[in-house]
Amino acid sequence: MPYMNITEVSSAVTSLATAFDDTADLVELPEPTFEGRTCHALRIGVHTLVPKPAVVLIGGAHAREWGSCEILVNLAADLLHGHAGGTGLAYGGTSFTSAQVRTIMEELDVIVFPLVNPDGRHYSQTVDPMWRRNRNPAQSGGDPAAIGVDLNRNYDHLFDFKTAFHPDAPVRVSDDPSDPDQVYQGPRPFSEPETRNVRALLDGHPRTRWFVDVHSYTQNMLYVWGDDQNQSLDPAKTFHNRDFDHKRGLRDDLLYAEFLAKTDADDSAVLAEQFCKALKGVRGKEYTPKSAFDLYPTCGTSDDYAYARHILNPSSERILAFTIEWGKSFHPPWAEMKKIVLDVDAGLVQFCLTAAT
């Protein structure tokens, strides 16, 4: 099969909810996109009287990264079919027993939101394959090239980057709607219905403890932080401490490094390493576990926002957050993409199994 269009992604999610009504629930997100599309997620897992810890998996935020939707739809189908049939799962050289699949389904709620940005995907698949953003024209001034917001710069984390970062920091974000790299952050945090839908998904599942945003490309498994290098010694060096404004974002300097509690740093590293190990077992592909900053400095991203929630609101669940960067191109030939789906799904099953146990 070729890459799915947006109708096929939506239909796949709805069909899984219908076919597995005892272990899957359709979740309608509250806000339609600018072009009027309603988005859906899927909660999968055995129903229990007490809410279970949740893993939230999202994809398709960047329009041109076509395979993220296929990865997540296939993962949901695999877990549901594997559990219903008691057959376990096999991905090349990596396999999981029926007991391991049952553990995931019984111990976790797995929330799968495969297509955050349907307007952008539709435009990418029908007009401009390299389109990255959503399709909100509000800030474009009538310029077609200035339509849209980079959704993975629109979350509420160090949004005021000119204040937060050192003037020399190469932070990959822009406040210019015409930015040629398509990293325009939008006029304010959560200005876009798509990012508000992700926030609503986290708010609606308050026991979320793990979050993964699926992107391409670089063959990495990234964990927080994205704004600076991590350190676990000085808790005063934190994103909400204004004393460190204009100091963030430089590599190997003495001005700043973002605090990450050692237990969270260790747990994040283990989860990322387990993901990469299982992925490599499929057909030998090497993915690298590392902090998001090691790729390049960012702000307003989904993973940093998800993890930061418990710091700003201690009553919130602590969410260990990650970004997958699959493959080596945005839309590889379908024959290769099918193999990437198996790679990444093996990693995600192992990620969920490690979280569950």
Pairwise CA distance, residues 246 & 228, whole Å: 12
Residue 1 has what pLDDT? Answer: 56
In Å, the largest CA–CA distance within the chain is 57
DSSP secondary structure string, 227-253? Answer: SS-EESS-TTS-TT-GGGTT-BS-TT-
Residue 51 has what pLDDT? Answer: 87
Listed residue (290, 295, 308) closest to 164, CA to CA: 308
- The residue segments making up the domain with residue 250 are 6-356
Domain membership flag for residue 1: no
Q: Enter the pTM of the model.
A: 0.97
**Cβ of 167: how many Cβ atoms within 10 Å?**
8
Residue 158 has what pLDDT? Answer: 98
Domain membership flag for residue 325: yes
Q: What is the pLDDT of residues 147-190, one digit of tens each?
A: 999 999 999 999 999 999 999 999 999 999 999 999 999 999 99
Judged by DSSP in three states, 17 sits in helix
Domain membership flag for residue 214: yes
Q: What CATH number does the domain containing 24 carry?
A: 3.40.630.10
DSSP secondary structure string, 130-143? Answer: T--S----TTSTT-
Domain membership flag for residue 228: yes
Give percent of the chain above pLDDT 90.
98
Residue 108 confidence (pLDDT) above 80 = yes
Domain membership flag for residue 75: yes
Q: What's the average model confidence in pLDDT over 313-338?
A: 96
Residue 196 has what pLDDT? Answer: 98
Domain membership flag for residue 152: yes
Helix, strand, coil fractions of the chain, as percent rounded to 5 = 40, 15, 45
Domain membership flag for residue 257: yes
Q: What's the average model confidence in pLDDT over 260-264?
A: 97
Q: What's the average model confidence in pLDDT over 82-95?
A: 96
Residue 49 has what pLDDT? Answer: 85
Residue 278 confidence (pLDDT) above 90 = yes
Q: What is the pLDDT of residues 116-157, one digit of tens each?
A: 999 999 999 999 999 999 999 999 999 999 999 999 999 999
Q: Can you tell me which residue has the tokens 């000085």?
A: 234
Give percent of the chain above pLDDT 70.
100
> Is there a contact between 341 and 70 (Cβ–Cβ < 8 Å)?
yes
If one counts the domains in the chain, the total is: 1
Q: What is the pLDDT of residues 28-45, one digit of tens each?
A: 999 999 999 999 999 999
Q: What is the pLDDT of residues 233-247, one digit of tens each?
A: 999 999 999 999 999
Domain membership flag for residue 194: yes
Residue 50 has what pLDDT? Answer: 87
Residue 218 has what pLDDT? Answer: 96
Residue 351 confidence (pLDDT) above 80 = yes
